[in-house]
Copies of this chain bind each other. A is one copy, B any other.
Amino acid sequence: MKAEIIAVGTELLLGQIVNTNARYLSRELAAIGIDVYFQTVVGDNLNRLSDAIRIAQGRADVILFSGGIGPTQDDLTKDAIAAVLNRKLHIDRMAMDKIESFFRDRNVDMTENNRRQAIVIEGGTPLANETGLAAGNAISDNGKHYVVMPGPPKELIPMFEQEVKPWLFQHVLTEEMPIYSKMLKFAGIGESALEDRLLDLIDTQTDPTIAPYASEGEVTVRVSTKAPSESEAMLKLDAMEVQIRERLPEHLYANEDVPIEYTIVTMMSDMGLTLSAAESCTGGLVMQSLTSVPGSASMLKGGIVCYSNEIKEKLLHVPHSYLEGEDAPGAVSPEVAKVLAEQIRMIGDADFGLSVTGVAGPGYSERKPPGLVFIALAQRGKETEIHELRINGNRETVRIRSAKAILYRLWRKLVEMD
């Protein structure tokens, strides 16, 4: 089953926005066994869009469109498909009711062009838009399948999940069993090292399939299988998860698509544990990522961004002799990392105190190279753990990887305690 994704919108051709829809749809289609062979972007122009549709007809079975279904005269996706398929357009009553009540509820006059958003192609299935006004549309014609979705990702994603996927299984993947997937998330290991540890599984297993990919500081593995029911799929997926977990027990932190800070906030909240942090080179990045998780207020007491030596001394009681003088270890040292973690734990009266101090670069600091970072983890009643990192990369990479590294160490500690 070959697919093409056609994104419609001049803003894409001007480089004003990135085509994240193509990425989302490609990944989701791959997961249900539909191979995307081409992605096309075309502007809001009837002739060029019609040409693109004709080209896609020649090389794909399923053509998915994003964008070009809003209220303005520029929104031409349904018009172009109808023209190419030689079908009429009509107003879908349910979509129109939704639009009319939207304006009525807000006491705003509906301009006439909003009617365009309720248009569907004759013989097609309207697709409900949960988070917007423009109706989607799906239609099969002459052995080819056409699916029309809105451009904004916050409308496209729910429509794909709730309307398009079931339609595809009903009309396109009729011979196929549905595909079920599980996302496994890993920290503290790079993509190639992880692939290495799973190589035999990846090479020999055809069901479930195993696909790793790296994202910002983390690695994700998607495990997928086809099965007649979710319960049968889960049996296979769970068994594979067990096998993978056995090989990487110290790295697999979640079996759903969440960042490690989410797992940490959840675990610490459940365990009634608290944390405070002292950040030097990361400048608040660790706390910032933890506080991006709703509910973090119950576990994060807060902390100190100790960017200057002054603050390190004054607020975190780092001895002056550690920071200055010929034989001083300096701010970027295991000694200072240790004091920072222990002091911030006590200041916050928290179960854990963590610290990061390093050279983010560019350039040397204290005659130490960029990428040299010390992280420490203090725990009530336990010995403080200190790690040295040597990170290759620019300032941003050094900061992000340092933050991820201390979060990984914290997660390991929580697992040991759990």
Contact = CB atoms under 8 A, between A and B. Distances in A.
A240 B308 CA distance: 41
A75 interface: no
Interface stretch (A41-49, A100-108, A115-123, A144-152): A41-49
A22 B23 CA distance: 13
A352 to B, nearest CB: 14
Given A48-B38, A305-B303, A349 B310 contact: yes
A416 to B, nearest CB: 25
A39 B36 contact: no
A279 interface: yes
- Contact count band on A: 35 or more
B38 A15 contact: no
Interface in A5-54: 12-20, 22-30, 35-43, 48, 51-52
Contact of A16 (B27, B282, B284, B305): B27
Interface stretch (A61-69, A245-253, A293-301): A293-301
Contact of A39 (B12, B51, B292, B360): B12
B302 A311 contact: yes
A194 B40 CA distance: 32
A18 B12 contact: no
A212 to B, nearest CB: 10
A284 B25 CA distance: 34
Contacts of A395: 292, 294
A306 interface: yes
B308 A305 contact: no
Interface in A243-301: 276-277, 279, 281-288, 290-292, 294, 296-297, 300-301
A396 interface: yes
A372 to B, nearest CB: 16
Contacts of A27: 14-16
B290 A288 contact: no
A362 interface: yes
A84 interface: no
B290 A301 contact: no
Contacts of A242: none
Interface string A328-349: 0000000000000000000111
Given A37-B48, A292-B395, A305-B287, A19 B15 contact: no
A367 to B, nearest CB: 16
Interface in A374-401: 395-396, 399
A296 B22 CA distance: 38
A414 interface: no
A197 B36 CA distance: 44
A55 interface: yes
A305 B305 contact: yes
B284 A305 contact: yes
A364 interface: no
A199 interface: no
Interface of A: 12-20, 22-30, 35-43, 48, 51-52, 55, 59, 213, 276-277, 279, 281-288, 290-292, 294, 296-297, 300-308, 310-311, 314-315, 347-349, 360-363, 395-396, 399
25 contacts: A12-B22, A12-B26, A15-B25, A15-B27, A18-B18, A37-B48, A38-B42, A39-B39, A39-B41, A281-B291, A282-B291, A283-B284, A283-B287, A283-B292, A292-B395, A294-B395, A296-B307, A300-B305, A301-B307, A302-B304, A302-B305, A308-B348, A310-B348, A315-B315, A315-B347
Given A18-B20, A302-B308, A302-B315, 19 more contacts: A12-B26, A13-B26, A13-B37, A13-B38, A17-B23, A18-B18, A39-B41, A40-B41, A279-B284, A283-B284, A283-B287, A283-B291, A284-B305, A294-B362, A294-B395, A300-B305, A302-B311, A303-B304, A305-B305
